[in-house]
Protein backbone atom coordinates (compact mmCIF):
# COMPACT_ATOMS: atom_id res chain seq x y z
CA UNK A 1 0.00 0.00 0.00
CA UNK A 2 1.29 3.51 -0.87
CA UNK A 3 0.81 6.20 1.75
CA UNK A 4 -0.32 9.69 0.68
CA UNK A 5 2.60 11.96 -0.15
CA UNK A 6 3.17 14.51 2.67
CA UNK A 7 3.20 17.91 0.95
CA UNK A 8 3.89 21.28 2.61
CA UNK A 9 2.72 24.62 1.22
CA UNK A 10 5.00 27.66 1.19
CA UNK A 11 2.97 30.79 0.47
CA UNK A 12 -0.74 30.60 1.32
CA UNK A 13 -2.09 33.55 -0.68
CA UNK A 14 -4.58 33.37 -3.55
CA UNK A 15 -2.75 30.67 -5.50
CA UNK A 16 -1.55 28.74 -2.44
CA UNK A 17 -5.15 28.45 -1.24
CA UNK A 18 -6.19 27.18 -4.64
CA UNK A 19 -3.50 24.50 -4.39
CA UNK A 20 -4.90 23.61 -0.94
CA UNK A 21 -8.35 22.94 -2.42
CA UNK A 22 -6.80 20.52 -4.89
CA UNK A 23 -4.65 18.89 -2.19
CA UNK A 24 -7.78 18.30 -0.13
CA UNK A 25 -9.60 16.39 -2.83
CA UNK A 26 -6.70 14.22 -3.97
CA UNK A 27 -6.31 10.99 -2.02
CA UNK A 28 -2.69 10.55 -3.18
CA UNK A 29 -1.51 13.51 -1.05
CA UNK A 30 -1.79 14.97 2.40
CA UNK A 31 -1.15 18.60 3.39
CA UNK A 32 1.36 18.45 6.27
CA UNK A 33 2.36 22.08 7.04
CA UNK A 34 2.02 25.69 5.93
CA UNK A 35 4.80 28.30 5.92
CA UNK A 36 3.94 31.95 5.27
CA UNK A 37 4.88 35.06 7.29
CA UNK A 38 1.64 36.87 6.28
CA UNK A 39 -1.00 37.93 8.81
CA UNK A 40 -3.72 35.44 7.76
CA UNK A 41 -1.60 32.36 7.31
CA UNK A 42 -1.59 31.05 10.87
CA UNK A 43 -5.40 31.00 11.03
CA UNK A 44 -5.49 29.32 7.62
CA UNK A 45 -3.13 26.59 8.84
CA UNK A 46 -5.30 26.11 11.93
CA UNK A 47 -8.41 25.76 9.70
CA UNK A 48 -6.61 22.93 7.91
CA UNK A 49 -5.35 21.38 11.16
CA UNK A 50 -1.67 21.51 10.12
CA UNK A 51 1.39 23.03 11.83
CA UNK A 52 2.12 26.67 10.98
CA UNK A 53 5.54 28.27 10.42
CA UNK A 54 6.40 31.86 9.58
CA UNK A 55 9.77 30.73 8.15
CA UNK A 56 9.85 27.98 5.52
CA UNK A 57 13.43 26.93 6.43
CA UNK A 58 12.33 26.14 9.97
CA UNK A 59 9.35 24.23 8.55
CA UNK A 60 11.60 22.15 6.25
CA UNK A 61 13.78 21.23 9.21
CA UNK A 62 10.98 20.46 11.65
CA UNK A 63 8.40 18.75 9.40
CA UNK A 64 10.63 17.11 6.75
CA UNK A 65 7.85 17.06 4.10
CA UNK A 66 8.20 14.62 1.20
CA UNK A 67 7.40 17.38 -1.29
CA UNK A 68 6.66 21.11 -1.29
CA UNK A 69 4.43 23.47 -3.26
CA UNK A 70 5.89 26.98 -3.47
CA UNK A 71 3.40 29.80 -4.17
CA UNK A 72 5.05 32.86 -2.66
CA UNK A 73 5.84 36.12 -4.53
CA UNK A 74 7.79 35.72 -7.77
CA UNK A 75 11.04 37.28 -6.54
CA UNK A 76 11.31 34.61 -3.79
CA UNK A 77 10.77 31.58 -6.05
CA UNK A 78 14.39 30.66 -6.76
CA UNK A 79 15.78 31.22 -3.25
CA UNK A 80 12.90 29.21 -1.73
CA UNK A 81 13.26 26.39 -4.25
CA UNK A 82 17.03 26.30 -3.58
CA UNK A 83 16.32 25.82 0.14
CA UNK A 84 14.00 22.90 -0.67
CA UNK A 85 16.54 21.35 -3.05
CA UNK A 86 19.30 21.66 -0.43
CA UNK A 87 16.99 19.75 1.93
CA UNK A 88 16.46 17.09 -0.79
CA UNK A 89 12.75 17.88 -1.20
CA UNK A 90 11.08 17.89 -4.65
CA UNK A 91 9.33 21.16 -5.51
CA UNK A 92 6.24 22.22 -7.42
CA UNK A 93 7.26 25.83 -8.03
CA UNK A 94 4.66 28.34 -9.18
CA UNK A 95 5.39 30.26 -12.35
CA UNK A 96 7.41 32.26 -13.20
CA UNK A 97 10.29 29.91 -12.42
CA UNK A 98 12.28 33.03 -11.42
CA UNK A 99 12.58 36.67 -12.29
CA UNK A 100 16.07 36.62 -13.90
CA UNK A 101 17.68 34.02 -16.14
CA UNK A 102 20.89 33.98 -14.09
CA UNK A 103 19.08 32.84 -10.95
CA UNK A 104 17.19 30.23 -13.00
CA UNK A 105 20.49 28.86 -14.31
CA UNK A 106 21.57 28.48 -10.68
CA UNK A 107 18.31 26.66 -9.91
CA UNK A 108 18.69 24.30 -12.89
CA UNK A 109 22.27 23.50 -11.85
CA UNK A 110 21.27 22.86 -8.20
CA UNK A 111 18.36 20.63 -9.23
CA UNK A 112 20.71 18.56 -11.43
CA UNK A 113 23.54 18.48 -8.90
CA UNK A 114 21.34 17.28 -6.03
CA UNK A 115 19.12 15.09 -8.21
CA UNK A 116 16.04 16.82 -6.83
CA UNK A 117 13.29 17.49 -9.39
CA UNK A 118 11.51 20.82 -9.88
CA UNK A 119 8.14 20.93 -11.62
CA UNK A 120 7.12 24.47 -12.62
CA UNK A 121 3.44 25.39 -12.32
CA UNK A 122 2.65 26.15 -15.96
CA UNK A 123 -0.50 24.20 -15.21
CA UNK A 124 -2.26 24.92 -18.52
CA UNK A 125 -0.01 22.35 -20.20
CA UNK A 126 -1.80 19.75 -18.05
CA UNK A 127 -5.24 20.82 -19.33
CA UNK A 128 -6.66 17.96 -21.47
CA UNK A 129 -7.72 20.39 -24.18
CA UNK A 130 -4.12 21.55 -24.54
CA UNK A 131 -2.98 17.91 -24.58
CA UNK A 132 -5.41 17.31 -27.49
CA UNK A 133 -4.27 20.47 -29.34
CA UNK A 134 -0.66 19.34 -28.85
CA UNK A 135 -1.48 15.93 -30.38
CA UNK A 136 -3.21 17.55 -33.37
CA UNK A 137 -0.23 19.79 -34.09
CA UNK A 138 2.28 16.99 -33.53
CA UNK A 139 0.35 14.70 -35.89
CA UNK A 140 0.25 17.36 -38.62
CA UNK A 141 -3.53 17.97 -38.60
CA UNK A 142 -2.90 21.60 -39.62
CA UNK A 143 -0.25 20.75 -42.20
CA UNK A 144 2.62 23.21 -42.05
CA UNK A 145 1.94 25.64 -39.18
CA UNK A 146 2.07 29.11 -40.72
CA UNK A 147 0.40 31.81 -38.59
CA UNK A 148 -0.43 32.03 -34.90
CA UNK A 149 -2.64 34.68 -33.29
CA UNK A 150 -2.77 34.85 -29.50
CA UNK A 151 -4.89 37.23 -27.43
CA UNK A 152 -4.79 38.05 -23.73
CA UNK A 153 -7.09 40.99 -23.30
CA UNK A 154 -9.10 41.43 -20.12
CA UNK A 155 -9.55 43.75 -17.19
CA UNK A 156 -8.10 43.17 -13.74
CA UNK A 157 -9.96 45.24 -11.15
CA UNK A 158 -7.88 48.08 -9.64
CA UNK A 159 -8.01 46.30 -6.24
CA UNK A 160 -5.82 43.50 -7.69
CA UNK A 161 -2.95 45.97 -7.41
CA UNK A 162 -3.59 46.78 -3.73
CA UNK A 163 -1.02 44.04 -2.96
CA UNK A 164 2.30 45.93 -3.31
CA UNK A 165 4.49 43.17 -4.85
CA UNK A 166 2.11 42.93 -7.81
CA UNK A 167 3.04 46.53 -8.80
CA UNK A 168 6.78 46.14 -8.40
CA UNK A 169 9.62 44.94 -10.64
CA UNK A 170 9.55 41.14 -10.61
CA UNK A 171 5.79 41.15 -11.27
CA UNK A 172 3.88 42.80 -14.16
CA UNK A 173 1.68 41.50 -16.96
CA UNK A 174 4.48 39.87 -18.98
CA UNK A 175 5.93 37.92 -16.08
CA UNK A 176 2.65 37.14 -14.33
CA UNK A 177 0.23 36.54 -17.21
CA UNK A 178 1.65 36.54 -20.73
CA UNK A 179 4.24 34.04 -19.51
CA UNK A 180 1.41 31.46 -19.48
CA UNK A 181 0.46 32.23 -23.08
CA UNK A 182 4.08 32.24 -24.23
CA UNK A 183 4.65 28.93 -22.47
CA UNK A 184 1.67 27.41 -24.29
CA UNK A 185 2.81 28.86 -27.62
CA UNK A 186 6.24 27.26 -27.12
CA UNK A 187 4.59 23.99 -26.12
CA UNK A 188 2.19 23.93 -29.08
CA UNK A 189 4.09 25.70 -31.85
CA UNK A 190 7.75 25.11 -31.00
CA UNK A 191 10.66 27.29 -29.92
CA UNK A 192 10.76 30.98 -30.82
CA UNK A 193 13.75 32.22 -32.80
CA UNK A 194 13.18 36.01 -32.55
CA UNK A 195 10.72 38.55 -31.17
CA UNK A 196 9.88 42.18 -31.74
CA UNK A 197 7.71 44.08 -29.28
CA UNK A 198 6.12 47.27 -28.03
CA UNK A 199 5.02 47.61 -24.40
CA UNK A 200 3.18 50.40 -22.63
CA UNK A 201 2.15 51.36 -19.10
CA UNK A 202 -0.01 54.25 -20.23
CA UNK A 203 -3.31 53.10 -18.65
CA UNK A 204 -2.26 52.12 -15.11
CA UNK A 205 0.98 54.09 -14.90
CA UNK A 206 2.82 51.47 -12.78
CA UNK A 207 6.50 50.55 -13.15
CA UNK A 208 5.37 47.46 -15.10
CA UNK A 209 3.67 47.26 -18.49
CA UNK A 210 -0.13 46.97 -18.77
CA UNK A 211 -0.19 46.49 -22.56
CA UNK A 212 2.05 44.65 -25.01
CA UNK A 213 2.12 43.83 -28.72
CA UNK A 214 4.59 41.08 -29.62
CA UNK A 215 5.70 39.63 -32.97
CA UNK A 216 7.01 36.06 -32.87
CA UNK A 217 9.12 34.19 -35.39
CA UNK A 218 9.19 30.46 -34.59
CA UNK A 219 12.12 28.16 -35.36
CA UNK A 220 9.85 26.18 -37.73
CA UNK A 221 9.22 29.34 -39.78
CA UNK A 222 5.70 30.08 -38.48
CA UNK A 223 4.96 33.71 -37.63
CA UNK A 224 2.79 34.87 -34.74
CA UNK A 225 1.40 37.78 -32.79
CA UNK A 226 0.50 38.07 -29.12
CA UNK A 227 -1.42 41.12 -27.94
CA UNK A 228 -2.05 41.62 -24.25
CA UNK A 229 -3.62 44.11 -21.90
CA UNK A 230 -4.89 43.71 -18.35
CA UNK A 231 -6.73 47.03 -18.45
CA UNK A 232 -9.38 46.51 -21.17
CA UNK A 233 -13.04 45.47 -20.92
CA UNK A 234 -12.60 42.63 -23.41
CA UNK A 235 -13.46 38.90 -23.59
CA UNK A 236 -10.34 37.42 -25.24
CA UNK A 237 -8.13 35.58 -22.77
CA UNK A 238 -7.48 32.04 -21.60
CA UNK A 239 -8.96 32.98 -18.22
CA UNK A 240 -12.36 34.08 -19.57
CA UNK A 241 -12.55 31.70 -22.53
CA UNK A 242 -11.32 28.35 -21.20
CA UNK A 243 -13.56 28.07 -18.13
CA UNK A 244 -10.59 26.57 -16.29
CA UNK A 245 -11.19 28.63 -13.16
CA UNK A 246 -14.84 29.33 -12.22
CA UNK A 247 -13.92 32.63 -10.48
CA UNK A 248 -13.83 34.18 -13.97
CA UNK A 249 -17.32 34.32 -15.59
CA UNK A 250 -16.91 32.50 -18.86
CA UNK A 251 -17.06 33.77 -22.47
CA UNK A 252 -17.34 30.27 -23.88
CA UNK A 253 -17.72 31.27 -27.53
CA UNK A 254 -14.62 33.49 -27.69
CA UNK A 255 -11.22 32.08 -28.71
CA UNK A 256 -7.87 33.23 -27.33
CA UNK A 257 -5.55 31.42 -29.77
CA UNK A 258 -6.00 30.93 -33.54
CA UNK A 259 -3.54 28.55 -35.17
CA UNK A 260 -3.45 28.23 -38.96
CA UNK A 261 -1.52 25.89 -41.22
CA UNK A 262 -1.49 24.86 -44.88
CA UNK A 263 -4.01 22.03 -44.27
CA UNK A 264 -6.17 23.37 -41.47
CA UNK A 265 -6.86 25.76 -38.62
CA UNK A 266 -7.67 25.34 -34.94
CA UNK A 267 -9.17 27.69 -32.38
CA UNK A 268 -8.43 27.34 -28.69
CA UNK A 269 -10.06 26.71 -26.26
CA UNK A 270 -13.07 25.66 -28.38
CA UNK A 271 -10.96 23.14 -30.33
CA UNK A 272 -12.87 23.68 -33.57
CA UNK A 273 -10.83 22.56 -36.52
CA UNK A 274 -11.32 23.78 -40.08
CA UNK A 275 -10.10 22.04 -43.24
CA UNK A 276 -11.01 21.46 -46.89
CA UNK A 277 -12.33 18.10 -48.08
CA UNK A 278 -9.33 18.04 -50.45
CA UNK A 279 -6.14 19.63 -49.07
CA UNK A 280 -5.33 22.81 -50.99
CA UNK A 281 -8.89 23.18 -52.41
CA UNK A 282 -8.94 26.91 -51.63
CA UNK A 283 -11.45 29.66 -50.93
CA UNK A 284 -14.14 28.75 -53.51
CA UNK A 285 -14.71 25.40 -51.77
CA UNK A 286 -16.62 24.95 -48.49
CA UNK A 287 -14.33 25.05 -45.47
CA UNK A 288 -15.42 22.12 -43.27
CA UNK A 289 -15.56 22.39 -39.49
CA UNK A 290 -14.95 19.58 -36.98
CA UNK A 291 -15.37 19.69 -33.23
CA UNK A 292 -12.42 17.98 -31.55
CA UNK A 293 -13.18 16.14 -28.31
CA UNK A 294 -11.17 15.79 -25.12
CA UNK A 295 -11.78 14.42 -21.63
CA UNK A 296 -12.91 16.96 -19.01
CA UNK A 297 -10.53 17.03 -16.11
CA UNK A 298 -9.12 19.95 -14.12
CA UNK A 299 -5.60 21.02 -15.05
CA UNK A 300 -4.54 21.64 -11.43
CA UNK A 301 -5.74 18.16 -10.40
CA UNK A 302 -3.76 16.61 -13.24
CA UNK A 303 -0.73 18.73 -12.40
CA UNK A 304 -0.91 17.60 -8.76
CA UNK A 305 -1.12 13.91 -9.66
CA UNK A 306 1.79 14.37 -12.06
CA UNK A 307 3.75 16.07 -9.24
CA UNK A 308 3.19 13.01 -7.02
CA UNK A 309 4.76 10.86 -9.75
CA UNK A 310 7.65 13.33 -10.13
CA UNK A 311 8.27 13.49 -6.37
CA UNK A 312 8.25 9.68 -6.14
CA UNK A 313 10.80 9.51 -8.97
CA UNK A 314 8.33 7.80 -11.34
CA UNK A 315 8.09 10.59 -13.96
CA UNK A 316 10.20 13.43 -15.28
CA UNK A 317 8.65 16.90 -14.84
CA UNK A 318 6.39 17.86 -17.76
CA UNK A 319 7.69 21.42 -17.22
CA UNK A 320 11.21 21.37 -15.77
CA UNK A 321 13.06 24.42 -14.43
CA UNK A 322 15.16 24.51 -17.63
CA UNK A 323 12.05 24.33 -19.82
CA UNK A 324 10.30 27.10 -17.84
CA UNK A 325 13.59 29.01 -18.05
CA UNK A 326 13.24 29.03 -21.83
CA UNK A 327 9.82 30.68 -21.44
CA UNK A 328 11.40 33.22 -19.08
CA UNK A 329 14.12 33.83 -21.68
CA UNK A 330 11.35 34.72 -24.11
CA UNK A 331 9.95 37.29 -21.67
CA UNK A 332 13.43 38.79 -21.29
CA UNK A 333 13.84 38.92 -25.07
CA UNK A 334 10.46 40.71 -25.37
CA UNK A 335 11.53 43.29 -22.76
CA UNK A 336 14.84 43.84 -24.57
CA UNK A 337 13.10 44.14 -27.94
CA UNK A 338 10.63 46.69 -26.52
CA UNK A 339 13.52 48.72 -25.09
CA UNK A 340 15.82 48.71 -28.12
CA UNK A 341 13.27 48.58 -30.95
CA UNK A 342 15.12 45.67 -32.63
CA UNK A 343 14.28 42.00 -33.10
CA UNK A 344 15.84 39.98 -30.23
CA UNK A 345 16.67 36.31 -29.74
CA UNK A 346 15.87 34.53 -26.47
CA UNK A 347 19.04 33.57 -24.59
CA UNK A 348 19.83 29.90 -24.14
CA UNK A 349 19.65 28.34 -20.66
Ligand X SMILES: NC(=O)c1ccc[n+]([C@@H]2O[C@H](COP(=O)([O-])OP(=O)(O)OC[C@H]3O[C@@H](n4cnc5c(N)ncnc54)[C@H](O)[C@@H]3O)[C@@H](O)[C@H]2O)c1
Chain residues binding ligand X by CB under 6 A are 10-16, 35-38, 41, 56, 71-74, 76, 94-95, 121, 123, 163, 176
Q: How far is CA 267 from CA 20, 247, 257, in A?
A: 32, 23, 6
Q: CA–CA separation, 224 vs 216, rounded Å?
A: 5
CA–CA separation, 163 and 157 (whole Å): 12
Rg over alpha carbons for the chain, rounded to the nearest Å, is 21
Q: Which are the contacts of 222, defined by CB distance < 8 A and separation ≥ 6?
A: 145, 146, 147, 148, 189, 190
Question: Which has the closest alpha carbon to 177: 144, 158, 143, 151?
Answer: 151
Closest approach of Cβ 280 to ligand X, in Å?
Answer: 40
> In this complex, which beta carbon is closest to ligand X, that of residue 101 or of residue 265?
101
Give the phi and the psi of residue 191 in degrees, each rounded to 5: -70, 155
> Would you say 71 or 188 has its CB closer to ligand X?
71
Contact 294, 136 (CB under 8 A): no
Pick between residue 72 and residue 111 the one whose CB is nearest to ligand X: 72
At closest approach, how far in Å is the CB of 93 from ligand X?
Answer: 9
Alpha carbon distance 201, 145 (integer Å): 33
CB nearer to ligand X: pick between 11 and 224: 11
Vertex 347: Cα angle to 336 and 138 (nearest 5)? 110
Q: Which is nearer to ligand X, 66 or 181 (CB)?
A: 181
Is 228 or 261 the residue whose CB approaches ligand X more closely? 228
Shortest Å, Cβ 55 to ligand X:
7
Residue 42 vs 263, nearer CB to ligand X: 42
- The least distance separating ligand X from the CB of residue 274, rounded to whole angstroms, comes to 29
Closest separation in Å from C-beta 267 to ligand X: 21
Which helix (H) or strand (E) element contains residue 20? helix 14-24
Position closest to ligand X via CB: 13
Distance in Å, CB of 36 to ligand X, minimum:
4
Query: At its nearest, how many Å lie between ligand X and the CB of residue 275?
Result: 32
Q: Which SS3 state, helix, strand or coil, does residue 61 take?
A: helix
Phi, psi (rounded to 5 degrees) for 281: -60, -35
Residue 318 Cβ, how far from ligand X at the closest point, in Å?
14
- CB-nearer residue toward ligand X: 114 or 167: 167
Question: In the chain, count of helices (H) and strands (E)?
Answer: 11, 15
Nearest-approach distance from CB 262 to ligand X, in angstroms = 33
Please state, in angstroms and rounded to a whole number, the distance separating the CA atoms of residues 229 and 95.
Answer: 19
The continuous run of DSSP H or E covering 266 comes out as strand 265-268
Sign of the CA dihedral 232, 238, 244, 249? positive
Of 247 and 277, nearer to ligand X (C-beta) is: 247
Residues comprising the chain, all counted? 349
Amino acid sequence: MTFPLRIALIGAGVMGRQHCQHLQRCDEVQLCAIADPGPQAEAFAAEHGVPYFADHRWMLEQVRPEAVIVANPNALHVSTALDCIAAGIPVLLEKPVGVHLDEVRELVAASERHGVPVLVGHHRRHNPLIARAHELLRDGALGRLTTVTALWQLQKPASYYDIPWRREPGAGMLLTNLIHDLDLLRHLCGEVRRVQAFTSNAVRGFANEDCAAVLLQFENGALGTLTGSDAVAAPWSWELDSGENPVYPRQADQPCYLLAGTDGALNIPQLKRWHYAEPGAGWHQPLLQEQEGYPHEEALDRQLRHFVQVARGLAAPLVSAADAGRTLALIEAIRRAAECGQACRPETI
